[in-house]
Chain A
């Protein structure tokens, strides 16, 4: 009975306090102490993990190869077309003086995933780089395939990364060929499916199209993520009354993350200022609040009307 009451007290206190409160601080301190042990255990258990993964990967390898070859051919054709469009895009961007955050504002930090939380409600991973490497809360996290998530909490020698499939995540995004933006959110319980919501009904998305981060569309609704980071591919389109939504398959294999890159913002850049601003906001409005929809809720408000 005592333990149940204690758990409820902890739950209430934790849920009610700000992200920089005492209990959150204890968690960060605990992570600092435990992360070297986790790192060691992760390295020791890697052969076991690799063995299990090898069986799984072998089963899927044949179908994946066929898929990859077809995709490579398609991408090669698209690349040629994209190069021309890209030049025009940059010219237009410069002409319209949009207050965009470019990837150049970020300094990538390589990190190794040391732990993964398999819980369907908390799609998170722990990485071995923290504040000492310049990693801060809300920094975008990518891997070689595309956007992976963002830093939810940072300790001196480790950080917690919320994956795209975390129930608290939301990312402002657009379909590659369209300028209309929406909000990518996970579907709880389905790690292979994301939902791009609040698209105008006039948009005609096609299955197979790529979904990328939209970045900051207007200065009033800044986004934490730089524009153009690949999120996934459209799998199907849902017809709804006021808005259109599409199902998106994430391109990054979130089940098997090993090496990731944290896009840390260099001091004094607009990205760093935006990140600092969002951290300082009270709980519920903060773009990086664990358990909230993230700064991309601001973007969604704008998108949604």
Chain B
């Protein structure tokens, strides 16, 4: 990736992430669906990882998580840790498997949401919550994943549109596309 395209990606990503974070805390948090709120920031980080790779995904996760922790006065480092791992994990999925199935955004959304909710709950338990934990927590996790699944596809489309033209080109994907358009063989090997 050239320096110019890196800075373009960083700028687009920063602006889009800021919009999503403000939309999340200003609107989505006020509108419960089935009693829970969608977690668009987790989906954003997962899709950035899926589209741009593990390094960009992890950096985006760290930045978004830190911003949320600072703005909402939460335990500093908690959301950034979970989002960093989430972004990195989704980025590695792209680098190792490069899933092309149309259902990929949906499945990644489900997986990312489940990891986010369960990871957050585990971290909170480890940090010591002194309130009684209700069985309803399981319901919140299940419904949260369900609501995020509904939001996953529109969020994927929006993220893709916001980053279009600035996304890094994956060499393996380029090779595969060339092989597909040339019938499986490069012009050089045909000759």
Contacts and interface: CB of A to CB of B under 8 A. Distances in A.
Interface stretch (B91-99, B137-145, B165-173): B137-145
B134 A256 contact: no
A100 B126 CA distance: 38
A160 B73 CA distance: 7
Nearest to A293: B130
Contacts of B23: 45
A7 B72 contact: no
B27 to A, nearest CB: 5
Contacts of B24: 118
- Greatest chain A CB density within 10 A among B71, B129, B139 is at B71
Interface stretch (A78-86, A103-111, A189-197, A266-274): A189-197
B71 A15 contact: no
Q: What interface size band does chain A fall in? A: 35 or more
A121 B120 contact: yes
A256 B31 CA distance: 9
B85 A122 contact: no
Contacts of A27: 69-70, 73, 76
Interface in A129-164: 152-153, 160
A12 to B, nearest CB: 8
26 contacts: A3-B58, A4-B81, A6-B77, A11-B77, A11-B78, A13-B76, A13-B77, A15-B75, A34-B70, A34-B71, A41-B26, A45-B26, A49-B26, A49-B27, A119-B74, A121-B124, A124-B73, A170-B131, A186-B131, A188-B129, A188-B131, A188-B132, A188-B133, A189-B133, A189-B135, A195-B132
Interface of B: 22-32, 35-37, 39, 58-59, 61-62, 65-66, 69-78, 80-81, 84-85, 88, 120-121, 124, 127, 129-140
Interface of A: 3-4, 6-15, 23, 26-28, 30-31, 34, 37-38, 41-42, 45, 48-49, 52-53, 56, 115-122, 124, 126, 152-153, 160, 167-170, 185-193, 195, 255-256, 290-293
